[in-house]
Amino acid sequence: QRQFVESGGGLVQPGGSLRLSCAASGFTLDSYPIGWFRQAPGKEHEGVSCINVRTGVTYYRESVKGRFTISRDNAKNTVYLQMNDLKPEDTAVYYCATAQCWDGGLSKTGGGWGQGTQVTVSS
């Protein structure tokens, strides 16, 4: 059974940093592109970043470019999202999932959402 476990969220002040982890089980991450998505209060899910784990090709939505970095550790079967210079508008529940990625965006594939991890940016 394919599963993702998100972790690393928390409460930080504006300008702070967090590193989110997405640990996969039941399959190897390089089998599919992996995306990070988020759902802010009162808003729909939106794609944040994605990575083709096998090739290393990445995508970032415009609002996080230069602040967020997606990466992977194949030995740990884990994808990370390093988030720097966090802003209040980054507050959301963050999810990872298999994704379809292209220049200009990403969309979720596969089954339903996992548990996610809460990121709160507030002074």
Instruction: For 7-26, write each residue's pLDDT tens digit.
Output: 999 999 999 999 999 998 88
pLDDT in tens, 21-37: 999 888 777 778 999 99
Question: Side chain identity at 25, as an amino acid letter?
Answer: S
pLDDT band for position 111 (cuts 50, 70, 90): confident
Express each pLDDT in 40-99 by its tens digit.
999 999 999 999 877 888 999 999 999 999 999 988 989 999 999 999 999 999 999 999
What pLDDT is stored for residue 29 in this prediction?
Answer: 74
Question: Where does the pLDDT of residue 2 fall: very low under 50, low under 70, confident under 90, or very high at 90 and above?
Answer: confident
User: What is the end-to-end Cα distance of the chain in Å, rounded?
Assistant: 40
For residue 26, what pLDDT is reported? 80
